[in-house]
A and B are shown apart, each in its own frame.
Chain A
Amino acid sequence: AQSVAQPEDQVNVAEGNPLTVKCTYSVSGNPYLFWYVQYPNRGLQFLLKYITGDNLVKGSYGFEAEFNKSQTSFHLKKPSALVSDSALYFCAVSANAGNNRKLIWGLGTSLAVNP
């Protein structure tokens, strides 16, 4: 079955330290990969995506993610965390589903950046 896993429900980091939010996937064919962020009482906002090309993708707010085909991972990273990065982060994968592609969502990882 096609799936997306975010193995950590919560990640805690100190402000100024690097952060990583993990995402692994299991899909058939070539995946299209996305990261979204959700701030409290708000809708999700797109951060970045990987479709093809360079495995390192840069996105909004200084975030980046690396597509690793052999490890089927797409971890979200930021070199220096800010308190304002505290939010819920979702990984999503667009996978083949017949004639269309279906978006499969992870359950989310809550990131807390401590001052």
Chain B
Amino acid sequence: DAEITQSPRHKITETGRQVTLACHQTWNHNNMFWYRQDLGHGLRLIHYSYGVQDTNKGEVSDGYSVSRSNTEDLPLTLESAASSQTSVYFCASSRDRSFYEQYFGPGTRLTVT
């Protein structure tokens, strides 16, 4: 069955370190998204991609970057981790930009100490 996976599931890192969170989907979807989920803020879009070599900033993109070199993967990099980036991160993919639902990964819980 097609799926979307994230790794690691849990990560503890120190302030200032670079961290990369992996996202891999086997749906063959062109569209991929990264969100963070924080209490009181719901889901906030960090970056998204509509296809290979395409990346776009979301509403909370500062301090984060993504690259899309193939259809299956959209890694999220925290250039210099900050305590404010402690959160749960979700990757998602969808078949279409508008009509189709998004499929979510299980999430990565990141703690920055």
The answer to whether B97 and A100 touch across the interface, beta carbons within 8 angstroms, is: yes
Q: Which of A17-25, A45-53, A70-78 contacts B (4 or more CB under 8 A)?
A: A45-53
What total count of A-B pairs have CB within 8 Å?
43
Interface string of B91-113 (1 = CB under 8 A from A): 01000011101111111000000
Assess the A43–B105 pair: CB atoms within 8 A: yes
* Interface residue A101 (Cβ < 8 Å from any Cβ of B): yes
| Residues of the B chain whose Cβ atoms lie less than 8 Å from the Cβ of A34 | 101
On whether the beta carbons of A32 and B99 are closer than 8 Å, the reply is yes
**Identity of the chain A residue whose Cβ is nearest the Cβ of B106 in the assembled complex:** A43
Q: How far is the CB of A52 from chain B (nearest CB, A)?
A: 10
Chain A contact patch, size range? 20 to 34
Closest to B33 in A: A103
Closest to A101 in B: B98
Residues of chain A lying within 8 A (CB to CB) of residue B101: 34, 36, 46, 49
The answer to whether A43 touches B97 (Cβ under 8 A) is no
Chain B residue with minimal CB distance to A6?
B42
Complex CA gap A65/B98 in Å reads: 19
Task: Chain B residues near A44: list those with CB within 8 A.
Answer: 43, 90, 92, 102, 104
Asked if B107 and A106 make an inter-chain contact with CB atoms under 8 angstroms apart, the answer reads no
Inter-subunit contact B42/A45 (CB<8 Å): no
Nearest CB in chain A: distance from B93 CB, A: 11
Contact (Cβ within 8 A) B105 A105:
no
Q: How far is the CA of A43 from the CA of B103 in the complex (A)?
A: 9
Most chain B beta-carbon contacts within 10 A, residue among A43, A94, A101, A108: A43
Contact indicator per residue, chain A 29-62, by CB within 8 Å of chain B (1) or not (0): 0001010100001111110010100000000000
Q: Are A90 and B97 in contact (CB under 8 A)?
A: no
Most buried by A among B90, B92, B101, B102: B101
Sample of 20 A–B contacts (CB below 8 Å):
A36-B101, A41-B107, A43-B104, A43-B105, A43-B106, A44-B104, A45-B104, A51-B99, A90-B42, A90-B43, A94-B98, A94-B99, A100-B98, A101-B98, A103-B45, A103-B102, A105-B43, A106-B42, A107-B41, A107-B42
User: Which 5 interchain pairs have the tightest Cβ spacing?
Assistant: A43-B104, A46-B101, A107-B42, A101-B98, A44-B104
